[in-house]
Structure 1
Amino acid sequence: MSVRRLADQQPGSFAFTKASEKLVTFWLNKYPEAKKASAVIPMLWIAQKQEGWVSEPAIQHIAERLGMPRIRVYEVATFYTMFNLAPAGEHFVQLCGTTPCWLRGADDLKKVCEKRIGKKGVVSKDGKFSWNEVECLGACANAPMVQISNKDGDEYYEDLTAESLEAILDSLEAGKPVTPGPQNGRDCSAPEGEAKTLTDKSLYDGSAAKTIKLPNTAKAEA
């Protein structure tokens, strides 16, 4: 894993908003006082959803709230790549570049991001977008794909082409809603085109199974 460091430019302070404080209270109430450090990951995530990234003042604030050394919170924030250590755009695009997505055209999606947004980790001039390449996001059956995080949530956009990703970015830039999930019309990870199901029940109901004799058993078992 490459070394991850905090951004050079940092805000002067950090505080949770009222809405964020409700979430913080929810998580802190899950743990006894002596174990409240267990809330460090949720609190870092709440800070990121509030600001778009995790700043040094946020790390310091969370450390004080949890009674932890700052270095311990820093270690967590820098270890997990889901935490942005520098400002992100309004829409943060995480592009999977692992083998299944790469084989299915992730390089074409990277070219779109480079053309539309700029270099990895850099916020676009209008502040709307930033992007990064990440490891597997667990949607290999729908490769290639991206996850886009914004105030509305963290959604997967799958079965992409360069053209469909361009269309998604166009819509987000214009403030138009975008439907997450597969972008080629298929249902979840179902086969493309018409359904391809097994019509011979013996292939899946067990009736074609042969009786075998298992070691150390009194009788044959199917």
Structure 2
Amino acid sequence: MIDDKMAKMAVNTLKAYFAKYPLVGEFENTQKPPQKTPKFDATLLDSPCFRDYINGILELEAERAGISHRGLDKVKCYPNGTIKVWYKSEDDETVYKGKAKCHPNDAFNPEIGIKLAVQRIAEKMNKPFIPTDGETYFYVDDEDTIYSTINHNTNRDILNIAVGNCFNNYERALSNKGAITKHIERAAELLEKLRDEGDESHGAFLQTRLPETWGKVETL
């Protein structure tokens, strides 16, 4: 009869030849899933040529997204196919981060990943700033001058919020001055149109609803 000691020796001998069985007493390791093949070789980040390559992509995509090169901070690629891009605001106080992850079934492509990450940064930067009650904000006035005020939910505050004329710092308000002027012009045109339509509707309402005796003096 073969005892346990001899059986273990036989199994370990097989392992030595075939190198794909764990040692006896470690069969639970066979249940572990195989390691995933990395999407990206992280050692490439140490290559100056590769760094120049991804920095070139970063600047190109920033230009396409309409954001300044000056705020570009860093870009990192991870073995699992994730790309992260950091961007600093003009006042160097706010940091935006864009992230993109390669689909498990797709091949890693840094150009696509950086493009998506930069687009997500641009979306965050262009998201309208809505000040809370009592919060200070900057806005563009009728003469293209930048002012700061506190949101007290006055008519001016409500209109500024409606047209996106609220910014959390002077630099953002200044850089969006031209866009805000166009927004105000379009808003004025829309309000005039609504006013005229309202006058027409009001006149039609009076014609259909007022009695024929309206304006006549009736005696009892």
Q: Which category of TM-score, normalised to the shorter sequence, fits these structures?
A: under 0.3
TM-score (norm 1): 0.22
- Bigger share in helix: 2
Select the structure of larger CA radius of gyration. Answer: 2
